[in-house]
Amino acid sequence: MATRTGDASKGILNQGFSAGSNGKSVLKEAVDAVLTSFAKHTQGHGGAVNVEEALQEFWQMKDTDTGSKIQHRKSVKYEPEMSDRPPYVCFVTLPEGSCFGSFQPCPTKAEARRSAAKIALMNSVFNEHPSRRITDDFIDLAVKEAQETEKQIATKRRTLSLKAQDPDNPSTGVGAFRFMLNSNKGRTMLEFQELMTIFQLLHWNGSLKAMRDRDCSRQEVLAHYTARVIDDDMRSQMALDWISREQEQPGIIKKETERAFKELEQCRLAGRELRFPKEKRDILRMAYDQLRNV
């Protein structure tokens, strides 16, 4: 059986600054760079960095440096959760598609925005470190981790072959994973996150299996979705898929929503990247709302 994209991403691809990160030496470089580069953004008499302004300016400068390659999203997007009492929660999506959230108990909505901006800024700067760029060495390590993950899943289920899949054959799961990484060589982890999340969603939603049933090759699927972004059209289509499942398995949307919400909360409080769990929750909410309005 193919290695699942979501399983592979739990290793080296999911490393970054978080509330529980142990990469202190690399993180110190990120913190020092933030304080040096954005010291002019101060508020109050304490001279604290205004992280919201710093985060926006960071991506404006990056947009200029890359020649405005990011056409579909050029600004940082904040999404406060609807709540009439603390603790308040806020999510922030970066121009390249990665998402982070407030990771501390926040007594005000403004504090929730600052908390989300802080973790996003740290990850943005950390992402510029050479260790976050997809290179040949990085790909070899990521593929090795994917093979180990596949073996662990096979051992746990006791139903799959323990024979390692050929990482050079794009028709296998690990091979497709290597093919995807090679196609994005030179990009950073945050730049790769959008495509990674798309394939995680396609796997979770059952769309990859449906495409395999139609004899679509992994190369064809990758080529099609490389230029795509996660937008309302994609979410709506996936929501319709879940509505169809609900008609066959009543209660499945509620069950999946509870699971997605729990995963999102755990990742948010740990300061991790949130795009995949948040998109799952949002798609399921969309499906529930459409069912309720029928």
pLDDT tens-place string over residues 225-258: 887 889 999 999 999 999 999 999 999 999 999 9
Q: Encoding tokens for residue 175?
A: 């091979």
Domain boundaries defined on the chain: 74-128
Lowest mean pLDDT of 58-62, 73-77, 148-152, 156-160, name the range.
Answer: 156-160
* Element (DSSP H or E) covering residue 113: helix 109-126
**Residues with Cβ < 8 Å from 253, sequence gap 6 or more?**
242, 243, 245, 246, 284, 287, 288, 291
Cα 158 from Cα 167, distance rounded (Å): 22
> Mean of the per-residue pLDDT values for the chain?
80
pLDDT of residue 3: 38
pLDDT digits (tens, 9 = 90+) for 39-93: 655 554 455 678 898 899 888 887 766 554 444 456 899 999 999 999 999 999 9
Q: Which fold has domain 74-128?
A: Double Stranded RNA Binding Domain (3.30.160)
Q: Residues 100, 91: contact at Cβ < 8 Å?
A: yes
pLDDT of residue 92: 97
Q: Residues 142, 12: contact at Cβ < 8 Å?
A: yes
Nearest Cα residue to 161 out of 3, 23, 42, 29: 3
